[in-house]
Amino acid sequence: TERRKVYLGTNLKMYKTIGQTLAFLTELAERTRDIPREQLCLFVIPSYLALPAATGAVDQDRIGLGAQNMHWEDSGQFTGEVSPLMLKELGLRLVEIGHSERRQHFRETDCEENLKVLSALRHGFTALLCIGETGQEKELGISDERLRQQLKLGLRGVAEAQADRVWVAYEPVWAIGVQGTPASPEYAGAKHQLIRETLLELFPERGREIPVLYGGSVNPENAAALSRQPAIDGLFIGRAAWEAERFETLIRQV
């Protein structure tokens, strides 16, 4: 049987200057030169500011580039925001939407994530919708309800025909970052199954094809076990991917 395609990507958050981003991308491209991309979708999501230089520096068929956020309006009186038209002009294909840090620190709601998803899809981007329960929701035993809610609200109004440009990242908030502890492969696998079932409810035709990535304290020690879970299509990585050498080690393990 053919090996399924694995999705591996990193969000650089508010790390790396333009120069550091370029150095990282160049080294990553070099280190992954021999890996065929038929079975690997590799992507990096730098800060807005680094994107123009980044698009000139890498072949996006080898390393896809995405934006960390986007406003849903094409233009307007939204000081400090970035519009889909600006990102489109750069030749980006991917936009990350609803990372837990956006939801936590910038008070983004499911309704706003939905506006962004719809706008991104309308403009031809792939929308990477991030969802995940908080530690409190987990303790209260409402993780499944919350995940279903985030999917149903976040993907509301998405047409079945657009679903081939939807990716989902399952990132339990309690697992993310320095204070986080990774979800066990079993826990993550079970939540991925729930996510798949919900996606199939929303998109009976294409729901099965939507890549669902796990994120939250992925490291070279747990990456292989997580990606072996049948319901996990890939990994969305923070800290453990920000050095090209460490990221390469991880890539070669899954």
Pick from 211, 242, 14, 229: which is nearest to 129 by CA?
A: 211
Burial environment of residue 251 by CB neighbours within 10 A (0 to 12, 13 to 18, 19 or more): buried
Say if strands 234-237 and 212-215 run parallel, antiparallel, or are unpaired.
Answer: parallel
Q: Check residue 180 for interaction with ligand PEP (CB under 6 A).
A: yes
176 touching ligand PEP, by CB under 6 A: yes
168 - beta bridge partners?
129, 212
Determine if 218 is a binding residue for ligand PEP (CB under 6 A). Answer: yes
Question: What is the total count of residues that contact ligand PEP (CB under 6 A)?
Answer: 14
192: annotated active-site residue: no
Stretch that binds ligand PEP, among 78-86, 103-111, 121-129, 176-184 (CB under 6 A): 176-184
Q: How many other β-carbons are positioned within 10 Å of the β-carbon of residue 145?
A: 12
Question: Of 66 and 207, which CB lies nearer to ligand PEP in the complex structure?
Answer: 66
Instruction: Considering only the stretches 55-63, 102-110, 152-160, 237-245, report the one whose residues sit in contact with ligand PEP under the rule CB under 6 A.
Output: 237-245
216 binds ligand PEP (CB under 6 A): yes
Q: Which of 123, 139, 129 is nearest to 91 (CA)?
A: 123
- 105 annotated active-site: no
Min. distance of Cβ 237 from ligand PEP in angstroms? Answer: 5
Closest-CA residue to 126 (of 52, 43, 186): 43
Question: How distant is the alpha carbon of residue 104 from its chain centre?
Answer: 17
Cα separation, 228 vs 189, in Å, equals 9
Site string for ligand PEP, 3-42 (x = CB under 6 A): --------x-------------------------------
Which residues here bind ligand PEP, judged by CB under 6 A? 11, 171, 176-177, 180, 215-218, 236-240
List residues with catalytic annotation: 99, 171
